[in-house]
Amino acid sequence: MGAGSLIMLFICGVAFAGGGIALSWVLAKSSPNTAKGEAYECGIPSTGTSWIQFNVGYYLFALIFLVFDVELVFMYPWAVVVKEVGMVALVEILIFMFILFMGLVYAWKKGALKWM
């Protein structure tokens, strides 16, 4: 039942996204030329490709995000059952979160959170 409606909405979404692009393909006129085909970077001719290595700062944030996101996923099932399990669960998660927080402080002190 649930999966059926999800699939229905999936089809609606794909149809709308695909249909919109197809329709504008049909309706819009096209007169391509070399100047239109260039990348627009403030009007000056662009230098080289932009598929290059970029600032490592973003990469560091992505790494820390990955660590925290995985730990966040562990907290969801815990949060659902915390009332039933009781005190033990609370103490355990506080220890877990303390370690998590220390991880954040470590990354902070190492300068990983500093924006260049």
Partner 1 sequence: MEWGDIIYKSILVVCVFSVSLLVAMYSTYAERKIAAFLQDRLGPNRAGPFGILQPVADGVKMFMKEEIIPDVSNKALFIIGPSVAMFTACMTGVVIPWGTELVIGGKHYPLQVTDVNIGILYLFGVVSIGVYGIMIGGWASNNKYSLLGAIRASSQMISYELAMGLSIVALIMMTGTLSVREIAAQQVGWHWNVLYQPFGCLLFMICAFAETNRAPFDLPECETELVGGYHTEYSSMKLGFYLFAEYINMFISSAVIATLYFGGYNMPFIGRWVHDPNWMAILGTVFFFCKIFFFIFLFMWVRWTLPRFRYDQLMNLGWKILIPLALLHVAATGVVMWLTGQIH
Q: Which residues bind partner 1 (CB under 8 A)?
A: 1-6, 8-10, 12-14, 16-18, 20-21, 23-25, 27-32, 34, 36-42, 46, 49-51, 54-55, 58, 61-62, 64-65, 68-69, 72, 75-76, 79-84, 86-87, 89-90, 93-94, 97, 100-101, 104, 108, 113, 115
DSSP string, 59-108: HHHHHHHHHHHHHHHHHHHHHHHHHHH-HHHHHHHHHHHHHHHHHHHHHH
Q: What is the largest CA-CA distance in the chain?
A: 70
Contact call for residues 78 and 93 (beta carbons, < 8 A)? yes
Contact call for residues 95 and 88 (beta carbons, < 8 A)? no
CB of 37 to partner 1, least distance (A): 4
Backbone angles phi, psi at 42, to 5 degrees: 65, 15
